[in-house]
Structure 1
Amino acid sequence: MSYDYRDKVMVVTGGAGDIAAALIGPAARRGARIAVVDIRGEEARRVAAALPGSGHRGHAVDLTDLGQVEALVARLEEDHGRIDVLVNNVGMSSQERFDERDVASIRRELEVNLVSPLVLTRLAVPLLRAARDPRVITTVSLGGIFPLGETPIYTASKFGLRGAMLAIGLDLAAKGITVSSVLPSATDTRMLRQEAVEGGNALQFQDPPQPPEAVARAMMALLDRPRLEAYPKASESLLVRLAMLVPNQLPRLMRLFRRKGERGMAAYLRRLEAEGRAVRGPDGWQLVE
């Protein structure tokens, strides 16, 4: 069955980002009304204004601020009276090593990646229940299955988010709310490009990064055929799940994965350079905005 987007209220966090853009454009063309939620308010409003159709709105919200989240939910109730699809897509990553970063940055990353999707989902439950067929889709990561040694806080947040959404999905299914997660591998977004130029997690570059559209298609497939989890790249998901069957072998496996990943990251940087999206200077790589 194909999901009917007509007149559906879709709330998308991280709405000014690359993955969100790949999702909300097709959804708007199919008749959905999009609430674009992003900490960058001007960008959120610009994205909403550029969408086809009508009824779209950009919302400037820091999702780690409870008062702002409560105000967002109140505004959505006033504007629409319901939420048909909530897409938890906000996320961040830091390339600071665990033994060097400050505690405030650890708390911030956990708040953004783990706590904020749970809080928004909880506060949105009454508006979800007001819809005929409410859905929640959350962007997790293959980092929610496989530990990324260079970014342990990101790994912690995604392990927690995956487990929480599986549990919430089991709980809310009996209450009429369908909860799903998409677990992408490395995706060609600004966050990944920043990670590459900063010499971040090489493990993500086993294969060339997929386009944001691949993740968006997986999300839309979850609307067509609901299930607890979907993987845009099935082969990579199988590889990491097999590796986790032998966790005590991870130190050895990591050496193999890292060598391939370092070659993949170098190739990705060369591609960004050829496309004019990154430059290499005397102090290393930099993004071209």
Structure 2
Amino acid sequence: MSGFDFSGKIVLVTGGAGGIGSALCRRFATGGARCVVVDIDGARAAKVAADLPGAGHTGIGCDLTDRAQVERLFEAVADDHGRLDVLVNNAGMTSAERFDVRSVESIEREITLNLTSPLVVTRLALPLLMASRDARVVTTVSLGGILPLGETPIYTASKFGLRGAMLAIGIDLRSKGILAGSVMPSATDTRMLRQEAVDGGNSLQFQDRPQQPADVVAAVVRLLDKPRLEAYPRPGESRLVRCAMLMPNLLPRAFPLFRKRGDRGMARYLQELRRRGLARRTDGRWELVEEA
């Protein structure tokens, strides 16, 4: 049983209609929380909220890169609930498009969504969090916030920055009665990872079989049960990554040793997606099959 009592808690999850976000909402709602499901796709957010167990859930469409929309989001939460007990910063994006051909606009948008928006969301949520007796902030970062991923440098930049910011915020807010921490998942079987795989993204993520959203949910719950600055769904991976970063100048020589294994892992993952009816190969190219 969880040591954190979700009963009656007001929990807001960004990216709440995605694979990890919707799994988080189901877990929280099962424990008795009232969930505010936030997603850029308002229709999907509303559907996730409607399908949750219990009552009092809402789905809200919000572009987190638009501060005016974020301000309206928290005005709605204030009107409906008057407080916020748990904020989960979970929205994010990545792109397999290589740095030397990416548009500047796409770089700015990814940095804004992955790094700036969680900071803005957390800042604007503080008055509602301070109205809670036991306020928590949990942020989904990534092992890509520790180890550089050569094919996705903008994602790496945003996650490196987000990890550092959330460590600092966690230290600062603790003295104000708000416990903040981050989860550091590796590759997780979500639509975002599937898209990256069919686009030929970073094979280093596929050293092992991707974990499931339930693994990230379990790490979040452990973080709520036992507050700390960081939690890792796969502790063994985290130790390997942190050891590798003790000698970053060796990474160019070390990466080729892992890349072949990662390429094989990504090929296996793509075949698994085909067996599950989630990807197909057409004219020599992989593409996603959208779920009904």
Same fold (TM over 0.5): yes
Is the counterpart of residue 24 in structure 1 residue 25 in structure 2?
yes
Match of 1:230 in 2: 231
Distance 2:163 2:286 in 1: 33
Give the whole-Å Cα distance in 2 for the aligned partners of 1:73 and 1:24. 18
Cα deviation for residue 22 of structure 1 reads 1.5
Compute the RMSD of aligned alpha carbons: 0.7
Match of 1:216 in 2: 217
For residues 8-157 of structure 1, what are the structure 2 equivalents within 5 Å?
8-157=9-158
Deviations along 1:204-233, whole A, 9 cap, x unmatched? 101000000000110011111111000001
Q: Tell me if the contact between 2:11 and 2:87 (Cα under 8 Å) persists in the aligned partners.
A: yes
Deviation for aligned residue 1:20: 1.2
Q: Report the TM-score when normalising by structure 2.
A: 0.98
Match of 1:188 in 2: 189
Q: 2:249 — aligned with what?
A: 248
Counterparts of 2:16 and 2:23 in 1: how far apart (Å)?
10
Q: Which runs of 5+ in 1 are unaligned?
A: none
Matched letter for residue 178 of structure 1: L
Post-superposition, which runs of at least 4 consecutive aligned residues in structure 1 deviate over 4 A?
none
For 1:257 and 1:82, locate their aligned partners in 2 and report how far apart those are by CA, in whole Å: 47
How far did 1:82 drift? 0.5
Deviation at 1:26, TM superposition (A): 1.9
Partner-residue secondary structure (3-state), 1:35: strand
Once the two structures are TM-superposed, the CA of residue 283 in structure 1 deviates from its matched residue by: 4.2
Deviation sequence 1:68-115 (CA, Å, 0-9, x none): 000001110001001000000000001110010010000000000000
Structure 2 distance, partners of 1:199, 1:173, is 41
The question of whether the paired residues in 1 share the 8 Å contact of 2:27 and 2:217 is answered with no
The answer to whether 1:3 aligns with 2:9 is no
CA contact (8 A) 2:39 2:61 kept: yes
* Deviation per residue, 1:152-195 (Å, 9 max, x gap): 00000000000000000000100000001000000000000000
Whole-Å separation in 2 of the counterparts to 1:203 and 1:79: 44
Mapping of 1:171-210 within 5 angstroms?
171-210=172-211
**Percent same amino acid at aligned positions?**
64
Between the aligned partners of 1:109 and 1:175, the Cα distance in structure 2 is 31
- Deviation string, structure 1 residues 22-78 (Cα, Å, up to 9, x no partner): 211121111100000000000000100111111100000000001000000111000
Which region of structure 1 is more displaced relative to structure 2, 34-43 or 19-28?
19-28
The within-5 A match list for 1:259-278 is 259-278=260-279
What is the letter of the counterpart of residue 83 of structure 2? R
- Aligned counterparts of 2:115 and 2:132: Cα–Cα separation in 1: 25
How far is the alpha carbon of 1:281 from its aligned partner? 1.1
- The 3-state SS of whatever aligns with 1:99 is helix
How many pairs align?
Answer: 289
Aligned AA (1:284): R
3-state secondary structure, aligned to 2:227? coil
1:276 offset after TM fit, Å? 1.1
Report Cα offsets for 1:117-155 as digits up to 9, x if no partner: 000000000100000000000000000000001000000
Q: How far apart, in 2, do the equivalents of 1:172 and 1:269 lie?
A: 42
AA aligned opposite 2:10: V
CA–CA distance in structure 2, aligned partners of residues 164 and 134 of structure 1: 18
Counterpart secondary structure, 2:274: helix
Q: Using the alignment, how far apart are the partners of 1:48 and 1:100 within structure 2?
A: 39
Take 2:224 and 2:240, find their aligned partners in 1: how far apart are those partners? 26
Unmatched tracts of structure 2, length 5 or more: none
Partners in 1 of 2:87 and 2:272 — Cα distance? 34
- Establish whether residue 285 from structure 1 lines up as the match of residue 281 from structure 2: no
TM-score by length of 1: 0.99
